[in-house]
């Protein structure tokens, strides 16, 4: 549904690390009521969209145009200082701000609707305690006709059926906690669940979705495209540190890890892993490509020259470079994320436990569309990987999208 266009580089600076590392070392016992609320803020990644001081101004690119997040500090003129507790609950659970203002689902209220009233009340206590900041924001910069707020009435009617999380007595407490977090506060589906042309969820939850030049992978237990080959501990490690033996978080996921999952407690991360491991496998990525011999041959030669130095000729990577063999990111139905990675390069998530994100160089200036397509088709169909071929046209589309966004 959204991608955050502004990477907050400041969060990768050494000083921020020291603070993050300190926070990780000295986990305080829950004391003030605001601690519980602050933890809800972490679970919901409010800072990821509303900024570190919650004063808004973060630009979100959506398929319908641009939104700039509002100021949600207690400032009375430019923030939400005039909200009552009930106003806040309505915004979070029904997507309705005071004076009947219908919110756009770029604010993930369809997920927050599943949060318990107690968790929302705790969050509200914390929201009241943060420093008010004066910052007025022009939020709605969507294209016509999406900029017309009343259209959200139709959207809500068609696509939004608010329902609090219902405990499933047939499952364990950990599974239920995981399901509650994934579908609620942590809004994993906002990125990982396929969307219809109106940006609403469609089809099976968490089976993967394209977002603004990235692909948020399949999180089901499918062995080809999903997390079928990951253990629960692998999932916890990835969410906590942004990396594991299979993969390395970049782009929007690196941000979600830095702001949110790396700051979740171990019990909650385990619960999320229990829930994800128990998701029924999706229908996968449609299997391997056929008729790609020419692409495979050219791709193999180009790979050895451009990529093998870091990712290994065997695709197994090394301590600092992620493997491409058996890496689910590589095997998704759509290749958006990996095309983008090759063209634009990237930097892995940096977290308190693993503070330096290694870098991947940009190849946009070195590889033509068809060369990049050949290499990626090879990577997607070698070392046991199986996934549809990548066409030069796909690379070309993503290349022009990258041009227009920079
Ligand atoms: C994925 C990005 C995103 C995340 C995460 C997010 N928000 Fe928002 N939020 C938005 C956007 C965009 C709007 C503006 C929506 C609109 O005006 O239609 C918004 C609007 C709001 C509003 C309504 C403000 C008003 O106009 O009166 C409140 C309150 C709010 N968010 C609170 C939160 C809280 C609390 C969290 C964390 C639990 C959170 N948001 C997380 C994007 C986000
Ligand atoms: C803002 C969008 C966004 C949100 C929110 C988000 N993800 Fe992701 N996620 C992504 C993207 C994009 C990738 C691919 C990253 C890459 O290519 O390195 C990803 C990758 C992953 C991966 C690695 C999968 C693989 O095959 O390599 C896991 C596991 C994951 N996310 C779990 C989660 C969980 C659990 C949540 C909720 C707590 C979550 N994500 C929330 C966008 C998001
Ligand atoms: C100088 C070392 C280096 C070279 C050369 C290099 N990479 Fe990378 N690659 C990295 C690093 C580091 C990352 C992790 C960065 C990140 O995730 O943001 C990465 C990430 C990736 C990913 C994403 C993996 C994931 O789990 O999200 C893919 C796909 C990839 N590289 C493919 C390639 C291809 C194809 C080439 C050759 C065209 C190549 N790389 C060349 C270092 C390199």
The set of residues, in sequence order, having a beta carbon less than 8 Å from that of 164 and lying 6+ positions away, is 93, 113, 114, 115, 116, 117
CA nearest ligand 1 atom 30, residue: 72
Nearest to 265 by CA among 22, 35, 17, 27: 27
Torsion from C-alpha of 161, 88, 136, 10, nearest 10 degrees: -90
CA 25 to chain centre: 26
Distance CA 228, CA 106 (A): 30
Per-residue pLDDT of 6-32, as tens digits, reads 333 223 223 333 333 333 333 444 445
Which one is predicted more confidently, 324 or 199?
Answer: 324
Residue 323: inside a domain, yes or no?
Answer: yes
Mean pLDDT score, 310-327: 87
Nearest to 277 by CA among 216, 221, 205: 221
Distance CA 43, CA 188 (A): 11
CA 235 to chain centre: 14
Domain boundary among 143, 160, 177: 160
Give residue 32's pLDDT: 57
Domain boundary among 160, 184, 202: 160
Which atom from ligand 2 is nearest to the alpha carbon of 214? 12
Mean pLDDT score, 107-136: 96
Find the ligand nearest to 342 CA: 3
The token pair at 189 is 């589906």
Mean pLDDT score, 212-230: 84
Classify residue 375 as exposed, middle or buried by CB count within 10 Å of its CB (0-12, 13-18, 19+): buried
Give residue 27's pLDDT: 41
Residue 229: inside a domain, yes or no?
Answer: no
Q: How far is CA 120 from CA 43, 125, 138, 176, 256, in A?
A: 12, 9, 26, 18, 20
Residue 83: inside a domain, yes or no?
Answer: yes
Give residue 150's pLDDT: 85
Residue 193: inside a domain, yes or no?
Answer: no
Give residue 154's pLDDT: 85
Domain boundary among 126, 141, 160: 160
208 close to 192: Cβ distance less than 8 angstroms: yes
Distance CA 218, CA 358 (A): 24
- Which CATH number fits the domain that encloses residue 57? 1.10.760
Residue 281: inside a domain, yes or no?
Answer: no
The token pair at 124 is 């509200």
CA nearest ligand 2 atom 34, residue: 188
Distance CA 238, CA 200 (A): 27
Give residue 22's pLDDT: 35
Could you tell me if the CB of 306 is within 6 A of ligand 3? yes
- Which CATH number fits the domain that encloses residue 400? 1.10.760.10
88 close to 142: Cβ distance less than 8 angstroms: no
Residue 331: inside a domain, yes or no?
Answer: yes
Distance CA 338, CA 332 (A): 9
For residue 96, what are the domain limits?
Answer: 29-160
Per-residue pLDDT of 328-382, as tens digits, reads 889 888 899 999 999 998 876 666 666 666 788 999 999 999 999 999 999 999 8
Q: How many domains does the chain have?
A: 2
Percent of the chain surpassing pLDDT 90: 58
For tokens 């692998």, name the residue. 234
Give the mean pLDDT of the chain.
86
Could you tell me if the CB of 44 is within 6 A of ligand 1? yes
Per-residue pLDDT of 72-92, as tens digits, reads 999 999 999 999 999 999 999
CA nearest ligand 2 atom 35, residue: 188
Residue 11: inside a domain, yes or no?
Answer: no
Residue 248: inside a domain, yes or no?
Answer: no
Give residue 1's pLDDT: 37
Cα atoms in the Cβ-side hemisphere of radius 13 Å centred on 273: 20
Per-residue pLDDT of 139-157, as tens digits, reads 999 888 888 888 888 888 8
Find the ligand nearest to 378 CA: 3
Give residue 353's pLDDT: 63
Could you tell me if the CB of 361 is within 6 A of ligand 3? yes
Give residue 24's pLDDT: 37
């Amino acid at each position: 549904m959204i991608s955050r266009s502004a990477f907050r580089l400041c969060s990768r600076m050494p000083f921020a690390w020291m603070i993050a590392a300190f926070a990780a070392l000295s986990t305080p016992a829950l004391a003030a009521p605001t601690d519980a609320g602050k933890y809800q803020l972490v679970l919901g990644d409010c800072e990821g969209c509303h900024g570190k001081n919650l004063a808004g101004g973060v630009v979100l690119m959506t398929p319908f145009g641009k939104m700039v997040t509002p100021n949600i500090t207690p400032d009375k003129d430019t923030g939400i200082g005039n909200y009552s507790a009930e106003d806040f609950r309505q915004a979070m659970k029904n997507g309705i701000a005071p004076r009947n203002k219908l919110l756009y689902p770029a604010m993930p209220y369809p997920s927050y609707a599943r949060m318990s009233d107690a968790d929302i009340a705790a969050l509200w206590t914390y929201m009241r305690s943060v420093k008010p900041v004066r910052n007025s924001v022009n939020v709605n910069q969507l294209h016509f006709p999406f900029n017309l707020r009343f259209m959200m009435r139709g959207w809500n009617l068609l696509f939004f059926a608010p329902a609090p999380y219902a405990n499933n007595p047939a499952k364990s407490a950990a599974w239920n906690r995981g399901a509650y977090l994934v579908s609620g506060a942590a809004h994993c589906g906002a990125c990982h669940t396929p969307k219809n042309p109106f940006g609403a969820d469609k089809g099976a939850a968490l089976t993967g979705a394209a977002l603004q030049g990235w692909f948020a992978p399949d999180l089901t237990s499918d062995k080809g495209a999903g997390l079928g080959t990951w253990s629960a501990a692998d999932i916890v490690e990835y969410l906590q540190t942004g990396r594991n033996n299979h993969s390395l978080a970049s782009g929007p996921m690196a941000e979600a890890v830095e702001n949110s999952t790396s700051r979740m407690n171990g019990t909650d991360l385990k619960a999320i892993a229990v829930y994800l491991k128990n998701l029924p496998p999706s229908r996968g990525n449609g299997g391997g490509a056929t008729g790609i011999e020419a692409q495979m041959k050219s791709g193999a030669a180009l790979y050895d020259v451009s990529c093998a130095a870091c990712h290994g000729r065997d695709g197994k990577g090394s301590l600092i470079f992620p493997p491409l063999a058996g890496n689910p990111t590589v095997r998704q139905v759509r290749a958006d994320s990996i095309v983008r990675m090759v063209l634009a390069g990237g930097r892995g998530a940096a977290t308190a436990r693993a503070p330096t994100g290694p870098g991947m160089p940009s190849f946009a200036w070195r590889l033509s569309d068809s060369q990049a397509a050949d290499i990626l088709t090879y990577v997607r169909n070698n070392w046991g990987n199986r996934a549809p071929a990548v066409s030069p046209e796909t690379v070309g589309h993503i290349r022009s999208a990258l041009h227009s966004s920079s």
